[in-house]
Structure 1
């Protein structure tokens, strides 16, 4: 049960003055939490933080006021000039002056009586708003504040600026936020007193007060003590939730998986190359985990083309030696089938049977696979989420491998365990994740990194080209295709949209068709599964030589003899995605190239991105740069993926607090695994406050 002390924060925002259902709907657009369709609560408003401050402390003479700036001026009200009768489009003007100049205060659709009262002639007033100069004459349209000099203290000296959405006024939002802060109950302190002292953290109420009612512009800086206090709370809630998940997953006992190495040796003998040092290191860590009594929970991070699949296959061979089955779950059908194509022939050399199970297997074919799994005749199964649906029974599932972790959050990891399946778990990702993000999203896992590329891989030459030079590029590709090379051509969209004027895959396919004819193929996410497979097969077998597509080919598609990739509108893609796409070439022994086509003019961030791509192929460096350029929310595509999107913490600014939060969370649970001490009870409130109540349900589930 949620502590009743928190009830005021879980009340709907519509219980605040001035917030009806319509305003609450607008506020939902600016609340940083993913509300998941539920109504906005009062607690959500606490964490709508200002991104700037309007400083009204300085007073300007009208003549000295800069054009277009928000200024505060002290004036004497002169004459009123109402709009002529029947001409509603003409504004109502009030002329005012100081010793230096006259100014027109301009109002559209205003009530004359109200203005006469608000701005009486001869009154000394403080007026604040955006001042603009037209033909040497100053004017201010709809001032933000107008107060008599005698009541100057009513003018907010510093006014926080919040993110807004169409239809939501700054005044209404600010009033709602201050209303929410006023409803904050007196919560017990959940932070360690020594940490508070060392970091000069204010109490929660004081931190919120400083951010929402700043007395200095520095108060709303993400590096201020107030902001860092709230960021630490959020990071601690996340780390505590992960530590509870880890405790729960580890709580289900594992079983030692040891083998004689015979099946693994047979697969190694069938490989045309030897493993890199990094692969051997990762395997020895995995073997140690498998042999232990505790369940394995390991993240295998490997850059594009670093050989994760082979490591996974050898781990699955070890599970088979111990009499267990393995399941490898991929994010897409294409990838699951491709894993089958890579793994099945090698597994067969060791006498192991591999099968694929996705939503597409139906009827008799599906029934046979399910029988094989239940009887233990299938040793390795590859597939999508279908692997863990109702009706799929395993005889002895010992190892679960999840490919592309960032599409598969903590909740899904728990769901697998909840099915009564307690396999060892290996999670693989080709998206190099900065160290700080590994801690936030996967703090419950041990980490292995593959940092080398297999022998024989050629570097990829990366060039940037403006779209104006497209005809020359097409001509060069014509020669490349004539020499037998294969080319990917990536577009940002499937079909042209009204809002975004970008080249779509279908348009580009149509424009290249006259040049390349039947050598041209098309693939995108809206095609039926079988059509996608057919497009990939034709490209693989060389029936088509240029494959125009969307980012559907981003993850794991493997055509070793593809040597050129063109990425159109490269300025629209994030660094990590550009890096993933580039990794589709350079997989064979031939030199490869990547052409980044961009539309001028380029923004600063886009320029930086493209230059990082030219300079390096190191995915880990690219991911660190991406974090600096974009912040963590977009990096993991958090809005969709069940990984932590932060409301307050900015990892590029608060990464140093993350390690402290992780150590703090682990220490707390070692001393108080049930969170039943006074600090434990307070930490439960923190988990509720930051929407991590799933973790509290784990405590109750034991």
Structure 2
């Protein structure tokens, strides 16, 4: 379907607007982040929300104009005092008065006589700006507006303020905004009348007018009806897109699997511990999905060490009962081989064939595994995304388990399930994702959460210390290692950087070697997978006492004897990352400790971060706090991965609308999955306005 005709005026290039030349057009295209090879359009200006409002409605006499207030004064111009020749740093002063008092208007570097023209002696002018005081006299430096009395109507008494970029003046942007608002066509309503009435929301076009050309300062506030309506529209477009993607993945093309419980019982009996209530519950959800005719699309969230892998293994065991294959995919080879080592002994004992496929294996071995996957003799495969290269054929791939999902977006989810015609998808993440983000990024998935930790896990003592206490830390560490403990020492970077005064892993390693000799080793991201693995194996075998590492150990490294985690430059890590790193200890039966070393001075945000980590081990509390401190884009590392960034909705203020939008999108899509008829047309307009039209071709007819 092509774009609705009514929207044409909004999709015109800004280049076509009078007064926008090549240079400004190029600047705007960069500023609005237009897609590769396209120019910025009128719609971009509309979607560019003001960050605040200047209220110039205070029209008082000079006597009542107070310090730091923005006022609009009607002044009589008395005289000019230009700077003496050759002293350009002295300002040009204009003396003026009204019935209540006197004021100076101050202009720096005002060449070319324009001030004299704008403020002719003996005439009256309206002047608007912020009041300050110099040498006991009131003044306005560089007034925002100077207008003649008969042109008073052109002075915007309520003026939105926009984020700008260098080279773009607020005047130029204000002109574009006016143009964009004028270009708004009459649009049909996509929100039902009942909702509109109960929330007292304006139409889309009126909401845009109120935000960009407000009559009252309240019109453009974040919690005003206009902004709420627009935030809801943006959320609704995003949630509808996820519903469409979900429909594409989950339509009844799945297979209702049948299980006899033989393999799952076997695996369960081999586990050294009983499943927690949470694990049982998640497993029931998953088995329920697998036995239904729709394809499963489920997110399994659990904090570090909550036992997600076991749940996945049970699901894969169930798959083998139904005669189909499973694949477990991890983000790195290190993690893939670790998962493999965890599940292989259990699979062997339960009679389930299991193979590891990595990019670096010998050709002969790889050929044998490929043959086994193609003829079905291998039931479960573990690997990295190499599992999904085009030359790999499965006989009947029934279940894909993806670990650390947030590294892949919706498109990869669609591509993955194409490997198997009826494949169910289970996604696991150890990043506790707050409800808000689950809806925005995984609204197309059902969610199971593991809240409790497996029995026997010890709490972790966390402390925050300045790096100035280095010597104390070393003495304490020597004593603990002598008692048989093992420790991690994490640094943010590998080699030194010119710009950051940060101790890097290689320097720290050299420094620690002086004290600990051969019992310390280094592992970082630029080593080959084999070299990394060799060091990790020696650490696991307790041949190494202290492991210096960059964040490569962030996910999935499991050494129960390691009970001490020291994070240097903790102020440089995000909350989610600190939480992940801390989760590497406390995996055995010993009490564990995590020490956060920081370098002064600390910013307020860094202080709040370290305080949060010290005070709680609950990943969900930490994630909510992270969302507050950093904003949602960074939380999943999604600035780069094209996750939905919002332009109109501000999560902190509009979070409640996301739940509404989610429920409304679900109901709407259930009612009209083909988006047909007049309602469907209106919704398509909404999707085009928010550039979600790429989802439209996915809509199944009826």
| TM-score (ref. length: structure 2) | 0.92
Deviation at 1:572, TM superposition (A): 3.6
CA contact (8 A) 2:417 2:425 kept: no
Who is 2:424 aligned against?
424
- Which consecutive unaligned segments of at least 5 residues does structure 1 have? none
What do the CA deviations read for 1:541-590 (whole angstroms, capped 9, x no partner)?
33433333333322222222221222233334333222222111111111
CA spacing shift, 1:70–1:392, aligned 2, 3 Å: farther
Deviates more, 1:21-30 or 1:306-315: 21-30
Tell me if 1:568 matches 2:564. no
CA spacing shift, 1:277–1:682, aligned 2, 3 Å: same
Q: Report the Cα distance in structure 1 between the residues aligned to 2:506 and 2:684, rounded to whole angstroms.
A: 52
Matching of residues 272-671 of structure 1 within 5 Å = 272-361=272-361, 363-419=363-419, 421-671=421-671
Who is 1:165 aligned against?
165
SS at match of 1:255: coil
SS at match of 1:97: strand
Tell me if 1:214 matches 2:217. no
CA spacing shift, 1:537–1:137, aligned 2, 3 Å: farther
Q: Report the Cα distance in structure 2 between the residues aligned to 1:181 and 1:364, rounded to whole angstroms.
A: 66
Q: Report the Cα distance in structure 2 between the residues aligned to 1:28 and 1:487, rounded to whole angstroms.
A: 51
- Which consecutive unaligned segments of at least 5 residues does structure 2 have? none
Q: Report the Cα distance in structure 2 between the residues aligned to 1:518 and 1:130, rounded to whole angstroms.
A: 67
SS at match of 1:640: coil
CA contact (8 A) 1:406 1:641 kept: no
Alignment: residue pair count: 699
SS at match of 1:488: strand
Who is 2:153 aligned against?
153
What do the CA deviations read for 1:512-543 (whole angstroms, capped 9, x no partner)?
34333433333333444334334433433334
Who is 2:96 aligned against?
97
CA contact (8 A) 1:91 1:106 kept: no
CA contact (8 A) 2:675 2:681 kept: yes
CA spacing shift, 1:361–1:187, aligned 2, 3 Å: farther
Q: Report the Cα distance in structure 2 between the residues aligned to 1:17 and 1:529, rounded to whole angstroms.
A: 58
CA contact (8 A) 1:77 1:94 kept: no
Deviates more, 1:307-316 or 1:326-335: 326-335
CA spacing shift, 1:625–1:116, aligned 2, 3 Å: same
Deviates more, 1:43-52 or 1:593-602: 593-602
Tell me if 1:13 matches 2:6. no
Who is 2:3 aligned against?
2
CA spacing shift, 1:434–1:494, aligned 2, 3 Å: same
Deviation at 1:150, TM superposition (A): 4.4
CA contact (8 A) 1:34 1:639 kept: no
SS at match of 1:641: coil
Q: Report the Cα distance in structure 2 between the residues aligned to 1:526 and 1:80, rounded to whole angstroms.
A: 68
Who is 1:195 aligned against?
195
Deviation at 1:244, TM superposition (A): 1.5
Tell me if 1:234 matches 2:264. no
CA contact (8 A) 1:17 1:176 kept: no
SS at match of 1:579: helix
Tell me if 1:125 matches 2:122. no
Deviation at 1:276, TM superposition (A): 0.9
CA spacing shift, 1:155–1:432, aligned 2, 3 Å: same
CA spacing shift, 1:116–1:674, aligned 2, 3 Å: same
What do the CA deviations read for 1:438-489 (whole angstroms, capped 9, x no partner)?
2222222222111111111000111122333333223322322333322222
SS at match of 1:50: coil
Q: Report the Cα distance in structure 2 between the residues aligned to 1:177 and 1:517, rounded to whole angstroms.
A: 66
SS at match of 2:113: helix
Q: Report the Cα distance in structure 1 between the residues aligned to 2:479 and 2:554, rounded to whole angstroms.
A: 26
CA spacing shift, 1:362–1:228, aligned 2, 3 Å: farther
SS at match of 1:639: coil
CA contact (8 A) 2:568 2:598 kept: yes
Q: Report the Cα distance in structure 2 between the residues aligned to 1:508 and 1:562, rounded to whole angstroms.
A: 19
Who is 1:40 aligned against?
40
Tell me if 1:205 matches 2:184. no
SS at match of 2:648: coil
CA contact (8 A) 2:398 2:420 kept: no
CA spacing shift, 1:701–1:556, aligned 2, 3 Å: farther
CA contact (8 A) 2:397 2:420 kept: no
| TM-score (ref. length: structure 1) | 0.92
Deviation at 1:243, TM superposition (A): 1.5
SS at match of 2:295: coil
Q: Report the Cα distance in structure 1 between the residues aligned to 2:384 and 2:88, rounded to whole angstroms.
A: 61
SS at match of 1:586: coil
Q: Report the Cα distance in structure 1 between the residues aligned to 2:697 and 2:135, rounded to whole angstroms.
A: 67
CA contact (8 A) 1:675 1:681 kept: yes
CA spacing shift, 1:549–1:134, aligned 2, 3 Å: farther
Q: Report the Cα distance in structure 2 between the residues aligned to 1:417 and 1:653, rounded to whole angstroms.
A: 36
Tell me if 1:107 matches 2:98. no
SS at match of 2:328: strand
What do the CA deviations read for 1:94-116 (whole angstroms, capped 9, x no partner)?
322336455351232x4323333
